[in-house]
Chains A and B, each alone.
Chain A
Amino acid sequence: MITFERFTLENGLKVIFHKDVTTPMAVVNTLYDVGARDESEDKTGFAHLFEHLMFGGSVNIPEFDTPLQLAGGENNAFTSNDITNYYNVLPVNNIETALWLESDRMLSLAFTPKSLEVQRAVVIEEFKQRYLNQPYGDVWLELRPLVYKEHPYKWATIGKELSHIENATMEDVKAFFKKHYCPSNAILSIAGNLELVDVKSKVEKWFGDIPGGKKTVRSLPKEPKQTEFREKIIERDVPTDAFYYAFRMVDRLHPDYFVADTLSDSLGRDKSSRLYIRLKKELDLVSDINAYITGSNDEGLFMISGKLNDGVTFKQLDDALTEELEKIKNDLIPKEELDRIMIKIRTSRTFEEQGLLSRAMNLATNELLGDANKINEEDAEYKKINSEAILRVANNILQKSNCSLLKVKANSND
């Protein structure tokens, strides 16, 4: 149970406060309700590039990092297809420095040409390091447009291509800030050994006078129901063949979301999961196989991916995989197996709840979904799940006509 208090400033900024008396540290986490899904198709990668620019100085403070380090703190940020999230971890006695810094860059950025020029170069190197210069690094760049034809999940957070980042202009940057970076589009989550009144007055002091801005209303194209199996084969200089089965699944708020998560655990979370035992240990077809969900807010993906053993064909894999999927669609999973999955879920959730930062972050992401308290209801959601629900959801998701398959074939040049 993560306890918290919640209040909203007049300018629309939502604030969550979680008290923890056991730690000398504090977390200031700011979530902006903007991600790669909010970009236009000819300017992709922008939400992420913008995240970098948020460290290039704000209207009254030349540099973000230096004062925070002086306060003994550190920070980072990430961008996903759904959100952009910034966090600071610092000694609780110095929390005001983090509020000062975060509020100033919410007020306005410095928009220096040098910052744009350098961060463009940095992001291009990030693009190369993570997506282009790694074996299998470009898989998601290929897979997304295969699955999504309308919804902006069709491009990756880093962007569709380097040129979109290279061509970003200062006007683009300013317009993006104006549209998405304002109190009414943000959730501030604070955690540490503090008193509510103190948190309220400090937040009011630093964030209260920032103009609220307009909450952007999101209207994204809905991805039409998939009706036919899709397949794409790419050849790359990689040592071994790899496969990525992507099945469409429900959105984050759908009641079946946690059932799908549990189904993926049954198929491929660990070394006692079905696909690992059958396809790897018994049939020797793969060196590695996993099943997982992408966890996105809009309709996401249920993934089965792995690598083939030498000499095994994609067809052999597909036949064996289909057979396993038929089993889970036709026969109820035994109670013993469900118990095993549930204790692992409970254990990993207990570990996750231990970290101050993950508590602050989870409260913010759940508040974005409508209610921070959803985080405390997840245990009950999982407890409700029975074998019948898993069977039903397996039949909804694991249909061939609902699947896109990306095959990475190794160039046989060695």
Chain B
Amino acid sequence: MTNRSEQPGLVPIEKIDFIAPIQYEIAKGVYLYHMKDVPNETSRFDLYFDAGKCHGDKGISAFTNGLLLSGTDKQNSVEINESINALGGFLESGISVENSVVSMYCLRENLSAIFDILLDSIENVAFIEKEVTQLLSERKQKLKISEEKVSYLAQKAFRKKLFSTNDFYASSLEEKDFDNITIDAIKAFHKKHYLNGLTKIVIVGDIEESIIHQIINRAKKIVSTSTGTFDGSLKNEIGRTDILKEGAIQSAIRVGRTLFNKNHEDYLDFLVLNTIIGDYFGSRLMTNIREDKGYTYGIGSMIAELNETGYFLIATEVGVEVKEDTLKEIRFELEKLQNELVPEDELQLVKNYMLGQLLKSADGPYAMTDLFLSVELHGHDLDFYNEALKSVKSITPERIRELAQRYFKWDEMSIVTAG
């Protein structure tokens, strides 16, 4: 008979092979990273621009990004999209607080041709009035739809509290922004942050080196000459805000605080604490608030990183009638970690889980590239993950409690509900 009551033996993860992409310098401080070892025909390239929201709020960074393929003097937007689609390209483009990233997925045989089309479109975009008007009306409608969602309302209010010390970081798109924007302002933003704003290129795919050099030569014209200036002293506004949404049957909840990024000495150990509280299915928050009480479909926590700092966030949506109970339980779980040591078996489980996930996030050229980019941003190399392996393996319950006491104080949190 097969013994079903005992788990089969486990093999611990001792070592993970991390592979770095090849690095080329495009200009001073601006690099192209090429992950060449891809065992199939797929490829991707990303263009990073110093054109995030922190350089211009009131919608200008988002609108400019949305208009990058809206047409030049020679080709309208439909023609540009047709030529990219005729080469099988899938475009993804968007902004974050500190970045604008334009990504393209395609077969490797078409990468070079699509790159040329894309760069030409970005360099020569004419900001035709009709295109601008269409984009603005589309975005305005999207904003109105978003504002019907409690998750969006909570996120918006949370960002305002989280980044309370810097208006550009804290702001969200408002309806009035659509009336105040001018084509001249968009053109000026484009000139400063795109025509002189390229900060990085990433290529994944089995691409010949000669093509890489052509891309570097093409890109030289638009590299960023300034070193990005990002806010490192962001500080969250403590306390609670409740947003009323008539008729909502669920409330969105956000609890969090400004914190740090990979450059802080507590970062690696905090990752373990974050996993325990809310970053896997068996986390304290999931176990209590979903699996024991059934208040929610899901609850989770994360640590998000910016160039010079970072933040910690807990997010969920719960039935409106259990909003206060949920907040009480979140607080209870944060404080329990400050008062009690994590049991050894729970800590062992989290360690094993995290190592398995690290193995998975290093699996394949695309995952490996993203892993690399996440350390490169903060000036580290892949050795950072060997440190992470060691640190996860050796962390103690006492150290976890110490970090919870330092960073999980309820009266240092920003709390938002919407619903």
Contacts and interface: CB of A to CB of B under 8 A. Distances in A.
Interface of A: 22-25, 59-61, 65-67, 69-75, 89-91, 93-94, 96-97, 99-100, 103-104, 107, 117-122, 125-126, 128-130, 132-136, 205-206, 209, 237-240, 270-272, 277, 280-281, 284, 287-288, 307, 309-310, 336, 339-340, 343-344, 346-348, 350-351, 353-354, 356
Given A97-B8, A271-B78, A277-B78, A129 B317 contact: yes
Interface stretch (B24-32, B259-267, B346-354): B346-354
A291 B86 CA distance: 19
A340 B2 contact: no
Contact of B250 (A23, A129, A205, A206): A129
B88 A70 contact: no
A132 B293 CA distance: 21
B294 to A, nearest CB: 3
A69 B88 contact: no
18 contacts: A23-B363, A59-B4, A65-B281, A66-B349, A67-B7, A70-B7, A74-B357, A74-B360, A118-B293, A129-B297, A237-B148, A240-B141, A271-B81, A288-B141, A343-B86, A346-B107, A347-B88, A354-B364
B281 A69 contact: yes
A135 B152 CA distance: 12
B83 to A, nearest CB: 9
B75 interface: no
B310 interface: no
B4 A239 contact: no
Given A25-B359, A74-B280, A74-B281, A94 B10 contact: yes
What 9 A-B pairs come out closest when comparing CB atoms?
A: A72-B356, A121-B294, A239-B144, A343-B88, A347-B88, A93-B11, A96-B8, A60-B4, A271-B81
B64 to A, nearest CB: 18
Contacts of A346: 88, 107
A284 B137 CA distance: 10
Interface stretch (B37-45, B189-197, B379-387): B37-45
Contacts of B363: 23-25, 356
Interface string B284-298: 000000111111110
B82 interface: yes
Contacts of B85: 270-272, 340, 343-344
Nearest to A60: B4
Nearest to B143: A239
A336 to B, nearest CB: 8
B78 A272 contact: yes
Given A118-B292, A270-B85, A66 B282 contact: yes
A132 B88 contact: no
Contact of A122 (B88, B110, B294, B366): B294
B356 A97 contact: no
A24 B359 contact: yes
Contacts of A59: 4
Contacts of B89: 347
Nearest to B107: A347
A281 B356 contact: no
B80 to A, nearest CB: 9
B134 interface: yes
B138 interface: yes
B148 A125 contact: no
Contact of A128 (B90, B105, B249): B249
Contacts of A130: 297
A238 B145 contact: yes
B357 A72 contact: yes
B223 interface: no
Contacts of A72: 13, 352-353, 355-357, 359
A133 B150 contact: yes
B148 A350 contact: no
B5 interface: yes
B141 A126 contact: no
B42 A351 contact: yes
